[in-house]
Amino acid sequence: MSMNRFVLCMLALFVFEGSIMPWLIPGSLDGRLIPHFIFVIVMLSALYGNRHQALLFGAGFGLLQDVVYYGNLMGAHFFIMGIIGYFTGVLLERKRVTILMALTVIGFGCILYDTALYFIYSVFRITNTTYAWSLLHHILPSLFLQLAFALACYVPVRHVLVAQGKASAENDEE
């Protein structure tokens, strides 16, 4: 799969995350579950692609999320998604990543992502809840949704990203 098709699939996932997922979330969890499926793909890109690709995906789709969904504060998702994707790629660049390690890193990344967003929003007084309340009512339930999605899409995304890495390495040798 070429990079253009991969980005097109990510755009389709972005639309699915914002338009169809709110209908699929049960009424009792409405407003508590916040899907960040694009962030999961950015993290997988950092683990199995390279750090620059993760930075570009994170910054691009983070800015798209800022513009389309979260207009309260421009640039928060842009910055956080890009920087977490980049540093994940830097930290695990030369490591062999198993599925358990990938899920652990994605879990910590999702908690860091939502925590950083919470603190940025609390600095600018967009939210007035405590961190403990947000952790229990928003961050942890959303974490389980992100981990379930990461587990479901792990094998296909890893296959595509590893194949792209091999193809780009062959092109660099020529």
Q: Where are the domains of the chain?
A: 36-160
pTM of the model: 0.91
CB-CB neighbours of 112 under 10 Å: 15
Whose CA is closest to 118, among 159, 73, 67, 156?
Answer: 73
Looking at the chain, the whole-number percentage of residues with pLDDT higher than 90 is 68
Task: Return the pLDDT at 17.
Answer: 92
In degrees and rounded to multiples of 5, residue 173 shows phi and psi of -70, -30
Residues ≥6 apart with Cβ < 8 Å to 23: none
Residues ≥6 apart with Cβ < 8 Å to 97: 47, 48, 105
> Are the CB atoms for 49 and 70 separated by under 8 Å?
no
Is residue 128 over pLDDT 70?
Answer: yes
